[in-house]
Chains A and B, each alone.
Chain A
Amino acid sequence: MVRLALDESVRVWLVTALQSFPVRSEIEHLTEDIVSGPRNLFALRGAEIAGSSEIRVGNLWVWTERTTWNPVSGFGDVYSSDIYKNMVDPALVNHPFTGLPTPFRASYAVETAGPDGSLDIPADAVMWNPASDSWEDVPAGSTAKSKVTFDYSRYLQSSWHHGPPVTMADVIYPIAQGYEIAFDDAKVQIETALGITSRPLYETFRGYRFGESSLEVYVDYWHFEEGYIASYATPSSAATPWEILAAMDDVVFVKRQGAYSDTAAARFSVPWLSLVTESDARLVLRSIRQFAREGTIPTGVFDIGGESLVTEEEALARYEACDEWFDATNLLVLANGPYQLTRYDPPAQFAQLDAFRPESYPFTVEDFRFGTPPSLDIEGIVAPSVALGDPIELGVTVNGPGELSVQYTFVDPTIGAVLATAAAEPQPDGTFLISIDPSVSGSLFPGLYQVFVLAASSELAQVAQQRIDLEIGV
């Protein structure tokens, strides 16, 4: 693909974007992402000032005109996401040093038949049917390329910011909601762009099997790195309590008083729902109160295997908890992570996050501390004297974490031709040996040549590079 892209490119621009993030010296345990620096999930979760219980963070904005805190089609601005990511535990995260998808609040096991193979989907797997508003068995003989089994135990052992425990109902509701928005004709008429653009993703999902704390996902997707299959197949991070999502659905699709997307909001002259905006939160709260009065539980979503995952008492307790939360904060942003939003003041460009640390919360602060990425470097390579027809041998010493590897490219700089390229041989003492066949130097004119050496590590999404100038036959 890279070769194809290069061949078809008119020009290739290499851009190095440098950003500065000044930090006071007394702040400790900041995690630095190898790409985005301190702008990562863990930086503020693990940061600490000795003797202080408060950290003040400056950002360009807290609120902008594009700021919309809704978990369905909001968080389009980086400033909101910078705050929100401290409040929500995703199922998987990209490791700050390798960039690879890694289990976080959920763990997973991947089984795959490869890019061209297929796995049988069990007959008791289900799919959401937006027409009948129910989970229905997948057609007999259905297959998928991969199966990912997610374990949500670490979600279910703890509670939401407003008190109720996280349950499988919170995992399941957003899955059904996604299908509703993508395939329910009436809803697609309202949230057109959202529906049309999410369809291709949902069409690759072939079935689900719900366990007490686990979820099997069958998906037509393959990647040579299993973490990416799991990342793709993640259907739900239980990021928002189901009652909030259900109430938002009620506001958007039943009462038609708000919209999930900016385009639908403009088309129907309704607010683009944002749970940090008091008037919008009140719309959602009104639906929650109506649910509480009428004893409403979303139809079909929680009915699995002939039983409902949510009792009326449980639903009522959740509705009351939302009400109390709004009374205390005037907000309805509820999540499951280590910080809760207790104050949001757009005119003052201010947001306050308070620690949320119930005993049942599965992580300790140490789980969020990765520190700075380890370094990877190549020690100075001494250029040997090479005569025409001699073998070219270069010893390379690489310092870095994990499994190391070295690749080299031998180049004639006068014409830009690659004369040889291969992996360097690992040596018993941990160093590497670049060995280029004598026939290569034998075919050269005397002059200056270059060897580019690249070192890589399995634990770092970064390469170290060194160029060696070789005088051959001079």
Chain B
Amino acid sequence: MKDVARILIVRALTLFGVLLTVLLLLVISLGATGYSDRLLEAQVNEELRAFRISSAETIRDPAELETAVVARRAEIESFYGLDEAWWQRMPAQVWRVLTLDLGQARSLRTAEGSTAISDIVLERLPKTMLLLTTASVITATIGLIVGVRMSTQVGSRLDRAVAYFAAISFAVPAWWLGILFILVFAFKLDVLPAGGMYSSPPPEAGIDRWLDLAKHAILPVFTLVLVSVGPYIYSVRTMTVTAAQEDHVQLARAKGLSESVVTRRHILRVAAPPIVTGLVLGLAGSLSGSILTETVFNWRGMGRLYYDAISGTPDEAVIVALTFVFTLLYLIARFLLDIIYVVLDPRVRY
């Protein structure tokens, strides 16, 4: 037990080192390359351009207009943090997130008007979970049931059919299938909404509002499941097929154990570590959202948040905070896996 605790502590420290490394790489890629400065300066210039045009209607003296533009530039540069060099502002942001203070966004806000990044994340995360995590759970459930079944029927008609389906499912991009489904189910058949999160007008509150949200999630979830379930089934099948052909499985069957017991105890138990790895990392990854699917279905989740922070109105503080959150989620998932490996297979030691 003491060994296990020591191992896990070392593992946690290693993963923390990974977190630091990711954040360091982020600072370098955003700051040292000048990318962040250029991004923010472009935003400042765009806002100043609009400001100059609107101010020119009321400030007729060019010298006074220039004075006003200079004053506005100073304000906006301070607003975006450009009054400090990247090596001054970015380490401070990294230190803040490491102390679990995600800080304040510059341009992004919640629907309630809060600029606290933690509020923004908490607003978007449930929406992404409804979409991505639901899809991941459905995919994993179908994948485990069908994949394990296939591993016991290698070469059968079902096996071949699912192999073809897996190839198609893997090849089809989610955004393309999403658009196709919108055309079919929303515009042709008119049975599901084309996008967005609520109807127009939306239900005021309560269960009706939740049901409305769920109705809007059907098409994107269906899309995500269809593009991910094929490869998932195939990978489960591949991971379990070797175990299914082991001698101890044949022995179990020869002993007259039921097929469900054989599957559960003698196949799945052996193949569990890689399957669990995929499942846990998939669930953790689902919390990061999907930029393309959320964009196609106009779903304001974590994927869109990351995209907005980078491209819409650049928000450096949000980029740093989200990178931290996503990395942390991944590392927590990895740490959980380390514990689960030990539980699943007592032989595992690091």
Contact = CB atoms under 8 A, between A and B. Distances in A.
Partners in one complex: yes
Interface of A: 56, 63, 65-66, 192-193, 196-197, 199-201, 204, 221, 232, 262-263, 265-267, 269, 271-272, 274, 277-280, 343, 345-350, 352
B104 A269 contact: yes
A197 B202 contact: no
A223 B115 CA distance: 44
Nearest to B108: A65
Interface in B26-69: 51, 55, 58-61, 64-65, 67-68
A11 B53 CA distance: 20
Interface in B306-341: 308, 312-313
A444 to B, nearest CB: 43
B308 A65 contact: yes
29 contacts: A56-B200, A65-B108, A65-B109, A66-B313, A192-B75, A193-B71, A193-B72, A196-B67, A196-B71, A196-B72, A197-B51, A200-B65, A262-B79, A262-B107, A266-B79, A266-B115, A267-B78, A267-B79, A271-B115, A274-B113, A278-B112, A279-B113, A279-B114, A345-B198, A347-B300, A348-B197, A349-B197, A350-B198, A350-B202
A352 to B, nearest CB: 7
Contacts of A265: 115
Nearest to B63: A200
A204 B57 CA distance: 13
Contact of B113 (A56, A201, A271, A350): A271
Contacts of B346: none
A217 to B, nearest CB: 14
B108 A201 contact: no
B113 A272 contact: yes
B68 A197 contact: yes
B76 interface: yes
B76 A263 contact: yes
Contacts of A63: 111
Contacts of A274: 113
Contacts of B60: 204, 221
Contacts of B107: 65-66, 262
In the A-B complex, list the 3 residue pairs whose CB atoms are closest, starting with the nearest. Answer: A348-B198, A348-B202, A346-B111
Interface of B: 51, 55, 58-61, 64-65, 67-68, 71-72, 75-76, 78-79, 104, 106-109, 111-115, 196-202, 300, 308, 312-313
Contacts of A345: 198, 202
A352 B200 CA distance: 10
Nearest to A280: B113
Nearest to B74: A193
Contacts, number: 89
A419 to B, nearest CB: 36
A192 B72 CA distance: 9
A269 B317 CA distance: 14
Given A66-B107, A200-B68, A350-B198, 8 more contacts: A193-B72, A197-B68, A200-B59, A262-B79, A343-B201, A346-B111, A348-B199, A350-B200
Contact of B196 (A262, A280, A349): A349
Contacts of A349: 196-198, 200
A197 B72 contact: yes
B198 A263 contact: no
Chain A interface, DSSP helix/strand/loop, else mixed: mixed
Contacts of B75: 192-193, 263
Contacts of A279: 112-114
Contact of A352 (B64, B65, B109, B201): B201
B112 A201 contact: no
Nearest to A201: B58
A347 B65 contact: no
A65 B111 CA distance: 8
B161 to A, nearest CB: 42
A13 B212 CA distance: 48
Nearest to B59: A200
Contacts of B109: 65
Nearest to A54: B201
B113 A263 contact: no
B198 A347 contact: yes
Given A193-B72, A350-B200, A200 B61 contact: yes
Contacts of A346: 111
Contact of B58 (A232, A347, A352): A232
A81 to B, nearest CB: 12
B167 to A, nearest CB: 37
A77 B91 CA distance: 32
Contacts of B111: 63, 346-347
A416 B322 CA distance: 58
Contacts of A199: 68
B205 to A, nearest CB: 10
Contacts of A352: 201
Contacts of A201: 58-59
B20 to A, nearest CB: 28
Contacts of A232: 58
B64 A200 contact: yes
A346 B300 CA distance: 11
B294 to A, nearest CB: 14
A107 B164 CA distance: 74
Contacts of A193: 71-72, 75-76
Nearest to B104: A269
Contact of A197 (B55, B106, B108): B55
A192 B68 CA distance: 11
Contacts of B115: 265-266, 271
A348 B113 CA distance: 15
A316 to B, nearest CB: 29
A152 to B, nearest CB: 21
Contact of B112 (A56, A272, A277): A277
Nearest to A277: B113
Contacts of B65: 200
A221 B202 CA distance: 49
B54 to A, nearest CB: 10
Nearest to B64: A200
A378 to B, nearest CB: 33
Contacts of B76: 193, 263
B308 to A, nearest CB: 7
Contacts of B55: 197
Nearest to B300: A347
Contacts of A197: 51, 55, 59, 68, 71-72
A199 B65 CA distance: 10
Nearest to A345: B202
Given A66-B313, A221-B60, A269-B104, A263 B78 contact: yes
A137 to B, nearest CB: 26
Contacts of A196: 67-68, 71-72
A196 B66 CA distance: 12
Given A65-B308, A197-B72, A280-B113, A263 B197 contact: no
B89 to A, nearest CB: 13
Nearest to B198: A348
A32 B197 CA distance: 32
A201 B198 CA distance: 44
Nearest to A58: B200
